[in-house]
Structure 1
Amino acid sequence: MDVVGQSVADVHFDPFSADFYDDPHACYPRLRAEAPVYYNQTYEFYALSRHADVAAGLKDFATYSSAYGVDLGMVRRGEKVPAKMIISLDPPEHRAMRSLVNKVFTPRAIEELRAMVSDTVGRFLAAAVGDAGSEGSEFDVVQDFSAYFPVEVITQMLGVPERFRQQVRLWIDESLHREPGQIDISESGKQAMAEMWLMYYELIQQRRDDPGDDMISALIAAEVQREDGAVDRLRDSEIAGFATLLGGAGAETVTKLIGSAAVTFARHPDQWQQLLADRGKIGVAIEELLRYDAPVQYNVRRSNVDVTVHGVTIPAGAPVFLLGASANRDPEAWTAPDTFDINRDRSEAQYLAFGYGIHSCLGAALARLESAIALDKLLDLMPRYEVQWDRCRRVSMQNVSGWSHVPVRILP
């Protein structure tokens, strides 16, 4: 199977094309089989698609640096990101920052959020279906429901005033949107990011004068040990960076996962019925959804040194796509990887939907809790349903894959 090379004439991977946005998994099998170290001459990046290579790349921060940004446009500039966010830090700087936020996402801390999350999910689901929570009613799982509650949860945790919570979602959507062929963030996306940063900056100033019981107040009070050993408080820009990252990741992942769940279970109704019969399977169903149709398709890194993989040398300073979504369907790692199976043997390989290594997703436990509660309530609402396929729409976003519209009708 090792037919490898730096580029293969008829194997093409363009993560900025309409075809990719429509079906990202279509190109992965040939990448893995024929060009596991792929080079895109147009955009001048490399891509790793096999599970073993992606997992190794995610763990090897010395070779594949995060310090130059999180998307191709940033990494190609070859400059370290001036605005320090944990996602764009390498050790040792990363360790101190990560340890701070880890305290917020301990299993106990997440479990204490269950009531708030359940109330928030229930409130938005009730608003989505209104009085029509009965046979024959229709609603859009994403537009009417899953677009709203995840950002509400994370912004409540951060301490964002209610009037700004859904605006955060709109700012994030605008910053991530890409038209086919568009690499860099749009001017409207930059404006959205600037407005969001300003909102967080002003909130930080308010919390410095009047602390509350929220994450931003906790970050203001936290102490961090810098690289030189000095103990210091976080700067406003660092706190705003935390808030921006957590707000974005907290909004997008679960929104897309629940939309994908509605689509995937509609195509596998027998497994929806299994969940109805045994709600104890919801947790493993979420893991399989994450493997089968992950909201995050890839992570972009920059090679610090020349590195040779499968006989191909990736030069120092090159952007490298680590295709986690491809790795999660690698037949060398999984049995029947293109089959959706909530009863799958999860011990076969490392799941990569939430990353791996030092940059594994901070909010993974929170995302799992939100998703489990949302699925449980959807099972109650629509034990049988059908998707209105002609009105489904996919997103066109950097890094993120999923559905923007999934209208459904509840069946008797």
Structure 2
Amino acid sequence: MTATELVFDPFSEEFFNGAWEIYRRMRDEAPVYYNAEHDFYALSRHEDVAAAYKDFESFSSAYGLDLSTVRSDEPMMAKMIIMMDPPEHRQMRSLVNKVFTPRAIEALRPMVTETIDRFLPADRDAFDVVQDFSALFPVQVITQMLGVPEQYRHQVGEWVDTSLRREPGQIDMSEEGMQAVGELMGLYYQIIQERRAEPREDMFSRLVAAEIVREDGEKQSLDDFEIAGFATLLGGAGAETVTKLVGNAAVTFARNPDQWQKLLDDRSKIPAAVEELLRYEAPNQYNVRRSMRDIELHGVTIPEGKPVFLLAGSANRDPEAFTDADIFDIDRDRAEAQNLGFGYGVHSCLGAALARMESAIALERLLDFMPRYEVDFDGCTRVSAQNVAGWSSVPVRVLR
């Protein structure tokens, strides 16, 4: 029997539908994988992905997060914190950290709870967990938090979706996607001007006011472009992560009803369930870095200047890191290995605490709303989008 060729194509239908078998083969057969068609490398083992996330001097973020931008010869112009390396990253992070303190996030709990409750449908037997629920509330939470006027909040979600959408085989952002990003940045720029003139109790106002004292004693604050870039990042990453995680939860628990029963029996396990969902099928499957020097790993040389996929989705299923890695177990030992679902190192997700809070509250509400349910698997559709993985539709029947 002839072994099939190992092909990892992050723009293929096969990848969008769950790349678990491909990941397994990559970890076993080609832990430093090279794709000749698109001229990129990929790391799939937990040990290698975690080390690369921390080694920003060898694996740079300054060229972007996806293949389209990283393979360009020019650093990114957009001032997004996720597309920076230290020391610039350190300065920006210390500024935005001021509006992401644990106290600040906890203070959002009433607003987050009220928003989630508003989008949970009334008593219904037929319900789409994504279309009717998880695709709706996260962007509302993020935009309220930022201070986006209510009439623009739904539109922000549509712009984010358009910018991330990819057809199978499509690498570069579409014209519509670029226009959506431009429209979004324009709206944010306008709001920032208004907040500079008249501050309010929202994140835009706090980002405008945030200052740090640099090593030379000078005060530094964020300019309009930096704030707009950060808000664009927050809106995209924050909304998409929770949308996909909650959709994934409905499918994963339907396939593992014993785990859903554990939550029905003991709601205190909800935070652990969120962590296991992040590990088992991370909404963010990968980030792309640029190699800043020749890197020798597992007998392969990654040349300087190449895109390198850090496959967190594969790393989180690595049996060398996690016992029974392909088993969904909300009671698993969290100390075994680092969960890379929210990144690692200097770029660990700034909004992780907020995403965890939203996901936990949403799970709590779904336990109340549909303690017994069935997923219409034939009606489920996968997302085809840049970096993120999950479902765009998960129809369920609530069993009364």
Q: TM-score, normalised by structure 2?
A: 0.97
**2:295 aligned with 1:273:** no
Aligned to 2:393: 405
Two-structure CA RMSD over aligned residues (Å)? 1.3
Q: Deviation of residue 231 (structure 1)? A: 2.5
| Partner in structure 2 of residue 167 of structure 1 | 155
1:245 counterpart = 2:233: yes
1:75 aligns to what?
70
State the shift of 1:228 in Å: 7.2
Pairing partner for 2:273 from 285, 294, 300: 285
CA distance in 2 between partners of 1:332 and 1:290 (Å): 18
- The amino acid of 1:273's aligned partner reads Q
Task: Note if 1:390 corresponds to 2:385.
Answer: no
Give unmatched runs, 5+ long, in structure 2: none
| Structure 1 CA distance for aligned equivalents of residues 277 and 208 of structure 2 | 36
CA 1:226/1:319 → structure 2, altered by over 3 Å: closer, same or farther? farther
Please name the residue that 1:233 is paired with.
Answer: 221
1:124 partnered with 2:112: no
Give, in angstroms, the shift of residue 345 of structure 1: 1.0
After superposition, the C-alpha distances for 1:169-188 in whole angstroms (9 at most, x for unaligned) are: 11011000011111110000
Using the TM superposition, give the Cα deviation of residue 227 of structure 1 relative to its aligned residue in structure 2, in angstroms. Answer: 8.6
Larger CA deviation: 224-233 vs 395-404: 224-233
Correspondence for 2:14 among 8, 11, 19: 19
Contact 2:376/2:396, CA 8 A, preserved across alignment: yes
Aligned with residue 173 of structure 2, among 185, 208, 222: 185
The alpha-carbon deviation at position 272 of structure 1 amounts to 0.6
Correspondence for 1:3: none
Q: What amino acid sits opposite 1:333 in the alignment?
A: A
Report the equivalent of 1:314.
302
Unaligned runs of at least 5 residues, structure 1: 1-7
Checking the alignment, whether the CA contact within 8 Å between 1:69 and 1:80 is kept in structure 2 is yes
1:331 to partner: Cα distance: 0.7
Give the whole-Å Cα distance in 1 for the aligned partners of 2:296 and 2:26: 17
CA contact (8 A) 2:280 2:326 kept: yes
CA distance in 2, matches of 1:226, 1:198: 30
Amino acid in structure 2 at the alignment position of 1:118: T
Letter of the 2:9 counterpart: D
The answer to whether the Cα contact below 8 Å between 1:171 and 1:196 also exists between their aligned partners in 2 is yes
Please state how far the C-alpha of 1:235 moved relative to its aligned partner: 1.2
How do 1:304-343 residues align onto structure 2 when only pairs under 5 Å count?
304-343=292-331
The size of the alignment, in residue pairs, is: 398
In 2, Cα distance between the equivalents of 1:405 and 1:248? Answer: 19
Contact 1:92 1:227 in 2 (8 A): no
Amino acid at match of 1:19: E
Distance in 2 separating the partners of 1:258 and 1:118? 15
What's the CA shift string for 1:368-403, capped at 9, x where partnerless? 000000000100111100001111000000100000
The 3-state SS of whatever aligns with 1:302 is strand
C-alpha contact 2:246 2:363 (8 A) present in aligned 1: yes
CA deviation digits over 1:178-228, x for unaligned, max 9?
A: 111111100000010000010001111111111111111111112245697
Structure 2: distance between partners of 1:376 and 1:48:
36
- Mapped to 2, the partners of 1:218 and 1:284 lie a distance apart of 32
Q: Does 1:40 align with 2:40?
A: no
Q: Is the 8 A contact 2:95 2:221 kept in 1?
A: no
Inter-partner Cα distance in structure 2 for 1:332 and 1:239: 41
Report the counterpart of residue 194 of structure 2 in structure 1. 206
- Cα separation, 2, equivalents of 1:34 and 1:24: 15
Q: 1:323 to 1:229 in 2, by over 3 A?
A: farther
Cα distance in 2 for partners of 1:227, 1:324 equals 35
- Match of residue 195 from structure 1: 183
- Is the 1:299–1:399 Cα contact (8 Å) retained in structure 2? yes
Q: Is the Cα–Cα contact under 8 Å of residues 16 and 389 in structure 2 kept in the other structure?
A: yes
Candidates 91, 108, 116, aligned match of 1:113: 108
1:103 is aligned to 2:98: yes
